[in-house]
Structure 1
Amino acid sequence: MTQNPPNLRPDLARATVPDDRRSEARPDQPTIGMVSLGCPKALVDSERILTRLRAEGYAISPDYAGADAVIVNTCGFLDSARAESLDAIGEALKENGRVIVTGCLGAEPDYITGAHPKVLAVTGPHQYEQVLDAVHLAVPPRPDPFIDLLPATGVSLTPRHYSYLKISEGCNHKCKFCIIPDMRGKLVSRPANAILREAEKLVEAGVKELLVISQDTSAYGVDRKHDESAWKDRAVRAHITDLAREMGQLGAWVRLHYVYPYPHVRDLVPLMAEGLILPYLDIPFQHAHPDVLKRMARPAAAARTLDEIAAWRATCPDITLRSTFIVGYPGETEAEFQTLLDWLDEAQLDRVGCFKYENVPGARSNALPDHVPEEVKQDRWDRFMEKAQAISAAKLAAKVGQRMQVIVDEVDDEGATCRTKADAPEIDGNLFIDAGFETLSPGDLVTVEVEEAGDYDLWGRLTA
């Protein structure tokens, strides 16, 4: 059984849509392929581009050979992602020859054309109109209004039963290690009713889980001064609490990602306790030592954060907390790193990711003094992950014997791969069912009893 199916990985996507979600191109119909790299936010951008192209009469090809041109949606945040993007562009040029580049790395056109001068066009992140213009120039549309009927849900690159829902673009923060604001601009929030309309259509189409994403989910609506928009028979504020409350009434799981720990996050937790949204918060704490946070240009309030975590758990004992951290940030001392380990001991976060710091072209952190040697970064990463793994294993062991609802992601000959409410797709763990799974299908919500636990995954059996 595959724990991380490659066909479901946005960062490894090489086909545009699964076989059961595409239609054959009619004779002479222009056909576009897409390679979508990077984070879920980029995946949403790819879906929007493909939806527009489908509406204009283009067919979508799952391979290079069947496409008149290929769009490569790039990632440009880390050096490794930039290298992967250049490799993907090179592969598309080799296999197809007609390539349009968009996405975050597209903000540096000279960098792309310096490596691949034969690309047809380069556009930046969320520049949908420019991408379409480039496609029109390379492969003129030939629409047939009697045939090219766009599905109400648009084109989706994720399985039918879950969908990413982007609520805003850009970010107002100025973290020194990050260049996202330079690439994607300042915060621009969508109207609340537009988001709710999209969410409702997704649920009506069979989506069982909405994964809410943005660069800073808890800042949603700040740029709009939390204005109201008409939804159904009422007005809804452009505020994450109001938005979450409304989405929680649509009948699907609602999972919040990239939630910055503002004080008003505490207003979301009662919605989790009520069962309106999933008891899950994905919060990028990044570090715990105040001096490191200051050098990162992030709020240095680790002690108060522990108090907030305690308050969240008091309100919603089942809450799952996920976070990411950076070790080896410029100037990080052994004592500062030890503070992070001690903080993690106290915080007891459920799901944790960790990155070794690396310079990003254009980031202000590059100019900071006292960069940490690579071998020290690796040692600290190993020690951090060892502690995080032990915490995860203990928390999962405590779930043995519990009954819980899970969502089925995949079924094969060996069993069913599922997720609990504590697990986001691709980044968290799984729950596996290896007996009595034959009648299950992706998207099913079933109740299981946990029988076994590992460091990151669970195994269970179906219950009546």
Structure 2
Amino acid sequence: MAGKVGFVSLGCPKALVDSELILTQLSAEGYETAKDYSGADLVVVNTCGFIDSAVEESLAAIGEALSENGKVIVTGCLGARKNADGSDLIQSIHPKVLAVTGPHATQEVMQAIHLHLPKPHDPFTDLLPPIGVKLTPKHYAYLKISEGCNHRCTFCIIPSMRGDLVSRPIGEVLLEAKKLFESGVKELLVVSQDTSAYGVDIQYRTGFWDGKPVKTRMFDLVNALNQIAREHQAWVRLHYVYPYPHVDDVLPLMAEFSDHGYGVLPYLDIPLQHAHPDVLKRMKRPASGEKNLERIQAWRAACPDLVIRSTFITGFPGETEEEFEYLLNFLDEAQIDRAGCFAYSPVDGATANTLDNPVPESLREDRRARFMAKAEEISIKRLAKKIGKRIQVIIDRVDESGGIGRTIGDAPEIDGLVRVLPPSKPSKRYRTGEIIKVTVISSQGHDLIAET
């Protein structure tokens, strides 16, 4: 009889991909996935440990799994966190967990599962789909191109948990992309800790794809993904792109999107974090505020349809009112389409904790609220310009009142939505995952209303 494993996946898209790898291996070895705690022989919890709220959520999830099931294996970023004395953080709080591993540790997790729930005999590996097990809807998927990060931002501890940058072989990445498209995926979301740095760790080594040599670097990867996506009438969306000069090279590919309707979307998710040069220096970010604004303006000139998403931090240690106002002015000048913001939160082990002049929590939150008000104002104005225009939308779900979809400028779960009114023909229904043309008739906050 096959053992049943429960699974809880927390954290970012990179962690989600780690979960998918573990679930794929479980399926390959003949294990079944339980739908609830009571039906599981043991539970795996994939944790996040980036900020305090994520740590609390992860610890609560572990506690719930222990209470409801009793047999728990922990993996993920929180698994790599240590107490000040070097002892394991999770086991000091939840000593009954069976095992703890760090992130990107499929084999270590499987070894722990084998120890506590021996694998079934003669697994039917041919029953495993070629794309593995996915936790996303069938029409979109995340494609992780590398692991780890070479930056040492003062507010971040990810390198201590996930290590330095390790790029996947480009042929392997492109083969996975092709298999995903062939399985019916219509939108591929490229993720990593630093997409722009792809290949730096291996000196842009030459790999092979489709019988031809191809460099392991960002432009070559995006160019190949663009071609594969067009062949399958699908989209590619780039996340976690640092604003390095060579990113300029992918803008012409994005500018071609309107001619085809498929390929690499004119969308960049760029984690800018701040705009004032002094704050960026304290953060040890690899770019300056002035150059960021110049680059964004140049990108928009090269690709007028470009949508830019970014995240920012308010109340970073030492941030003055003048520096915060500088950030608001930058937001206005750059016209960031989709902006997220976090009030600074100290993270155990981050060097920013030792910086002078910490900002009071109430002021951090106040600045975050002011930032989001400005961001919403910009978003509403930019969305209003779409009213009356004919645009493409990918349908995420269908109901009696039509469909819910996203534009080329909206990533799943973090950006806006499009409410598509029912088709004019009663016999017609939208299909989840299809890409359709709609006319925008109004906007509501960060979302749009459209009709076919």
TM-score normalized with structure 1 length: 0.92
Give the Cα–Cα distance (whole angstroms) in 1 for the partners of residues 26 and 433 of structure 2.
28
Confirm whether residue 371 of structure 1 aligns to residue 344 of structure 2.
no
Look up the match of 2:297.
310
Verify: 1:34 aligned to 2:7, yes or no.
yes
Offset at residue 147 of structure 1 (A): 7.3
Aligned partner of 1:447: which letter? K
In the other structure, the counterpart of 2:85 is: none
Please tell me whether residue 448 in structure 1 is matched to residue 438 in structure 2. yes
1:322 aligns with 2:342: no
1:84 is matched with which residue: 50, 57, 62?
A: 57
CA distance in 1, matches of 2:421, 2:155: 43
Deviation at 1:64, TM superposition (A): 1.1
Q: Among 16, 37, 62, which residue is 1:43 paired with?
A: 16
Corresponding residue of 1:182 = 160
Match of 1:61 among 34, 54, 76: 34
> Alignment partner for residue 429 of structure 1, among 412, 416, 424?
416
The corresponding residue for 2:111 is 133
Amino acid in the other structure paired with 1:272: M
Query: Following TM superposition, by how much is the alpha carbon of 1:300 offset from its aligned partner in structure 2, in angstroms?
Result: 4.9
- The one-letter code of the counterpart of 1:102 is T
Residue 148 of structure 1 and its aligned partner are, at CA, apart by: 6.1
Q: Deviations over 1:224-282 (max 9, x none)?
A: 11111111121111111100110111232000000011000100111101124100000
Once the two structures are TM-superposed, the CA of residue 315 in structure 1 deviates from its matched residue by 0.8
What is the identity, as a one-letter code, of the residue corresponding to 1:33? Answer: G
- Percent identity, please: 60
- In structure 2, C-alpha distance between the alignment counterparts of 1:227 and 1:99, rounded to whole Å: 40
Deviation, 1:440, is 1.0
Deviation at 1:382? 1.2
Supply the distance in 2 between the matched residues of 1:166 and 1:147 (Cα, whole angstroms): 23
Structure-2 separation of matches of 1:79 and 1:431 = 33
Q: 264, 270, 273: which is aligned to 1:277?
A: 264
> How big is each residue's C-alpha offset from its partner over 1:202-232, in whole Å with a ceiling of 9 and x where there is no partner?
0000000000000000000000111111111
1:19 corresponding residue in structure 2? none
CA offset at residue 299 of structure 1?
3.4
Shift of 1:143: 3.3
Deviation, structure 1 residue 434? 2.8
Distance 1:97 1:288 in 2: 47
| Unmatched tracts of structure 1, length 5 or more | 1-27
Give the total of aligned pairs.
435
Which of the residues 439, 446, 450 maps onto 2:429? 439
For residue 370 of structure 1, give the secondary structure of its aligned residue in structure 2: coil
Change (3 A) 1:138 1:148: farther
Q: 1:167 to 1:146 in 2, by over 3 A?
A: closer
AA aligned to 1:349 is: I
Counterpart of 1:248 in structure 2 is 226
Is residue 57–residue 148 contact of structure 1 (8 Å, CA) maintained in 2?
A: no
Match of 1:297 in 2: 284
1:312/1:300 CA distance change after superposition, 3 Å: closer
Contact 1:397/1:454, CA 8 A, preserved across alignment: no
Query: What's the offset of the Cα at 1:442?
Result: 1.1
Counterparts of 1:86 and 1:146, CA distance in 2: 35
Structure 1 residue 349: Cα displacement: 0.6
For 2:328 and 2:401, the matched residues in 1 are separated by 39
**3-state SS of the aligned residue for 1:65?**
helix
1:200 to 156, 163, 178: 178
Alignment partner of 1:105 is 2:78 = yes
Q: Does 1:264 align with 2:254?
A: no
Residue number in structure 2 paired with 1:14: none
Q: Which of 288, 308, 311 is matched with 2:275 structurally?
A: 288
Q: How many angstroms does 1:108 deviate by?
A: 2.6
**Deviations along 1:406-443, whole A, 9 cap, x unmatched?**
10001123331100000000000000113228611210
1:217 aligns with one of 175, 179, 195:
195
**For the Cα contact (< 8 Å) 2:239–2:270, is it kept in 1?**
yes
The equivalent position to 2:406 in structure 1, one of 410, 419, 433, is 419
Counterpart of 1:16 in structure 2 is none
SS in 2 for 1:140: coil
1:362 to 327, 339, 349: 349
> Is the contact between residue 28 and residue 124 of structure 2 (CA under 8 Å) also seen in structure 1?
no
1:353 equivalent in alignment to 2:331: no
The partner residue of 2:324 within 334, 337, 350 is 337
Measure how far apart 1:146 and its partner are. 4.7
The answer to whether the Cα contact below 8 Å between 2:28 and 2:128 also exists between their aligned partners in 1 is yes
* Contact kept in structure 1, 2:274 and 2:313, CA below 8 Å: yes
* SS of 1:124 mapped into structure 2: coil
The separation in 1 between residues aligned to 2:357 and 2:128, in whole angstroms, is 55
| Native 8 Å contact 2:402 2:430 kept in 1 | no
Separation in 2, partners of 1:39, 1:310:
29
Q: How far is the alpha carbon of 1:149 from its aligned partner?
A: 2.1
Deviation at 1:186, TM superposition (A): 0.2
What is the distance in 1 between the residues matched to 2:405 and 2:125? Answer: 37
